[in-house]
Structure 1
Amino acid sequence: MENITVKSSARVRAAITASVLALAVVIPTAATASPSPAPEPAPAAAKKSTPVYEGLPPGVNKKKTLVIGLDGAAMAQINKKNTPNMAKLISEGMVSESNLYANPMAPTVSGAGWSSIATGVWPDKHKVPDNSFSNPNYDQYPDYLTRIENARAQSSTLVVGTWSPIPDKVFAKGADLKLRGGNDAGTTAKAVDYLLNGNPDSTFVHLDEIDGAGHSNGSDSIAYTRGHKTADQQIGQMLEAIEQRKTYHKEDWVVMVTSDHGHTPGGGHGGSSIRERATFVIANGKQFKAGTERHDVKITDIAPTVLKHQGVRVEDEWNLDGKNINSIAADDFDTLRPHLKKAKDEAKLSAQTKGWTTTAPSGWTIDNSAMPKGGVREWRGWSFTTDEFWTNTDLNQGRETSVHNRNVFAVADSDEWDDKAHDPGQFDSTLISPEYKVKGGQSATLSFASNYKIDGPQSGEVFVSFDGGEPVLVKSYDKNYNGVESIAIDVPKKAKKAQVSFRYTGTNSAFWSIDQVSLKK
């Protein structure tokens, strides 16, 4: 792909200048302050007064964040022997693996990945589907350092990146100081210098050379493994710089490590394979319980987590896709993970691959009375599954765009079900929720993540019934939708309980996935 070639060429040029770190470009930019009423920010002039360190204004917050992005890195390469610093961050903190989008939302490339990490929204919002950055929507969805500056202008924000679009494009809008490192050694040296001798409140560091090894040699190569080892050593230098700070014992640090995409075994990325889509988030700080392994944290959660730690309120009107990690709660579907089954009829998956069940969680029921017998067993009626299982049944059919699902979710997939012989008739299944308490005469809000894709004759309908009465239609899909629904429900007088039903029908058509269902007063 052209955008990948451009990125790789830039890496070659960076390698040529590796020994001339003094030529690394420094791009200081004063953030445009847009103070919010609370907390009251210091005047911009006071922020820019001395002392400064090499162009970086002094920080004011005891709470500090460091996010380290490893371009093209893979969680499978992280272990105690090869990457001891990252392994320690995991053992003393939290780790979560997840998957990216793929086309038609965006290919698995750096521009889309780092923009999702920086802004806290997916490519359909930030509008960076590739490495050209031709029409980004950063005005509506700025990077999290810009949001920190807008809310708390006295904060000190720093970006150091090997890949030049990180300081020049992704974080160009409002950070106090943006530096190009030239290569990973230069980036690390600059980051270490500022972390040790300066006083940044929030820092983003980008290391690029794992990606270079992936392009040149593939994700099964020794070079790729060595790339992770080198990056881990550089992370170790940054962590040591933090711990050697004179004020370290008074500070509250959150350190996060992540990746923008993976690589194929033969090298390269941009496609929809599980290795290309695989990413991870490591989070270390006193608010993260040691040794925590999660399945519901995604790269878009990094930005709101940093904002929370830096004392910046995430406003509803920002419409972020990510959430502060510690605010993400498991839903009923997630309780099914230990009970997921191995593949049966899905021949493209290993027979040892677990990831589906048609047994509903406690309180939920499935009405398959209108379902014909037969078809692919994994998808006969509503099923519960994971992204890594469902998307790999058949690539490049839009399943990879279900970015709003977390952990285990519900799916009705008439396309996959129809791949095996069945009795006459269409897919017709209804998923029914537990009873929710409501207050009669008041309004309630029905919320759920929804990815509804049309490809032939099908229907998707949402009903609500009160106190066992007749279901009332509250939503009917007639076009594709991928997002989080928020539907206002008028509760009848004297009503005390409500149930939600999701009915999907289809004839060899597409799918409907839902997750995180709630009905709140």
Structure 2
Amino acid sequence: MVFVQLDNIDHAGHSYGAASQQYLDAIHTADAQAGQLVNAVKSRPGYADEDWLIMVTADHGHTDPGGHGGSTLQERQTFLIATGPTLAAGSVRNDVKMPDVAASALAHLGIALDPAWDLDGRPVQQPAPDDFDALRGRLQSRVDETGIPAGILGFTHTPPAGWSVDNSAMGGGGVTEWRGWSFTTDEFWTQTQRDQNRECNIRARNVFAVADGDEWSDKTLTGSFDSTLVSPAHPVTGGRGATLTYTTYYRQESPQKGEVLVSYDGAAPVPVRTYTADVPSRTETVTLQVPAGATTVRVRFRYTGGNNWYWVIDGVRISQ
């Protein structure tokens, strides 16, 4: 294992800004240095019998005038370039975030990731796409939002196959993008309003579901926010336990509430978890006891509130 830090790009950004020729020159220099390192690896006598994962990344971006540390997308946005035997050459992915660098290195070294560590990252060698990610090609540009660049495609109200959104109790009007549960991306959602902690949604990947009463209320509306995201019917075996897992991020302001409900074979939904306090981005595990004779289960995520905060859901899975 080798860790190399090439710091001159950061120095150029602070001294001259990210829009400068000096910044671009520093990138070219670092690119050549990275090439030297890769060539040195490939020149090793035993290279043909070795298993290398090479990752190139930056810990943050820069503003055009220079500097970083704020919450703008330009400062937070970065990249991961990786090559290894399990990674498809030339592929571009939307499910990778900064914490994945450490998790990927550990996995490559054969170190099992202990759930007790509660890592935010996951190995890039082990992608875990979910139903929401299939919506990437359906994303639209902004409608009412003004802080999001017009060229960014980042939201849709159309759920993936098998999913539905129940807006029968949803208020009218409001900001179009966030009327009921929406499906969006980090690049789009975090630019709705800076410094409201949307960038702390670290575990949701690619496309995820958001109920954002705060942003919805930024335009004339009637009623309150009351929207329910409904999963497909998952097959289960009655009389046995099952496990519901999902990634969540919830920011609370009363009278807002988030409810997770389950129903078996179309029966009345029963709450299995309720959110009325802040929850950091994390993976939730809920143990279900499937009634005898039941063959299917649906999960509902109901968010109620108004000009409060928001709830994120991603990676919903049921196992038995």
Q: TM-score, normalised by structure 2?
A: 0.97
Aligned to 2:113: 314
Within 5 A, what are the aligned runs for 1:21-40?
Answer: none
Asked if the contact 2:72–2:194 (Cα under 8 Å) also holds between the matched residues in 1, the reply is: yes
Q: Match of 1:397, as an amino acid?
A: Q
Aligned to 1:183: none
Asked if the contact 1:456–1:508 (Cα under 8 Å) also holds between the matched residues in 2, the reply is: no
Within 5 A, what are the aligned runs for 1:158-307?
Answer: 202-307=1-106
Aligned to 2:235: 437
Aligned to 1:198: none
Cα distance in 2, alignment partners of residues 372 and 244 from structure 1: 65
Question: Which of 171, 175, 184 in structure 2 is aligned with 1:376?
Answer: 175
Question: Which of 186, 205, 209 in structure 2 is aligned with 1:410?
Answer: 209
* Structure 1 residue 471: Cα displacement: 0.4
After superposition, what is the alpha-carbon deviation per residue over 1:299-323, rounded to whole angstroms, capped at 9, x for unaligned?
Answer: 2122222222222222222322221
SS of the residue 2:172 aligns to: coil
Cα distance in 2, alignment partners of residues 327 and 466 from structure 1: 32
SS of the residue 2:173 aligns to: coil
* Structure 1 residue 284: Cα displacement: 0.3
* Structure 1 residue 350: Cα displacement: 2.8
Q: Which stretch has the larger CA shift, 246-255 or 508-517?
A: 246-255
SS of the residue 1:353 aligns to: coil
Of the two, which has the highest radius of gyration? 1
Asked if the contact 1:456–1:510 (Cα under 8 Å) also holds between the matched residues in 2, the reply is: no
Aligned to 2:249: 451
Question: Which of 262, 275, 279 in structure 2 is aligned with 1:464?
Answer: 262
Identity among equivalent positions (%) equals 50
Aligned to 2:300: 501
Asked if the contact 1:413–1:512 (Cα under 8 Å) also holds between the matched residues in 2, the reply is: yes
Asked if the contact 2:120–2:202 (Cα under 8 Å) also holds between the matched residues in 1, the reply is: no
Q: Match of 2:265, as an amino acid?
A: D
Cα distance in 2, alignment partners of residues 314 and 422 from structure 1: 47
More helix, by proportion: 1
Cα distance in 1, alignment partners of residues 197 and 305 from structure 2: 16
* Structure 1 residue 254: Cα displacement: 1.1
Cα distance in 1, alignment partners of residues 74 and 193 from structure 2: 15
Cα distance in 2, alignment partners of residues 274 and 317 from structure 1: 31
Q: Match of 1:484, as an amino acid?
A: T
* Structure 1 residue 401: Cα displacement: 0.7
Cα distance in 2, alignment partners of residues 492 and 343 from structure 1: 44
Structure 1 runs of 4+ aligned residues shifted over 4 Å read none
SS of the residue 2:89 aligns to: coil
Cα distance in 1, alignment partners of residues 236 and 177 from structure 2: 34
SS of the residue 1:299 aligns to: coil
Aligned to 1:478: 276
Q: Match of 2:54, as an amino acid?
A: V
SS of the residue 2:52 aligns to: strand
Asked if the contact 2:153–2:188 (Cα under 8 Å) also holds between the matched residues in 1, the reply is: yes
Q: TM-score, normalised by structure 1?
A: 0.60
SS of the residue 2:99 aligns to: helix
- Name the Cα RMSD after superposition: 1.1
Q: Match of 1:502, as an amino acid?
A: F
Within 5 A, what are the aligned runs for 1:90-105?
Answer: none
* Structure 1 residue 265: Cα displacement: 0.8
* Structure 1 residue 353: Cα displacement: 2.5
Cα distance in 1, alignment partners of residues 7 and 315 from structure 2: 35
Aligned to 1:124: none
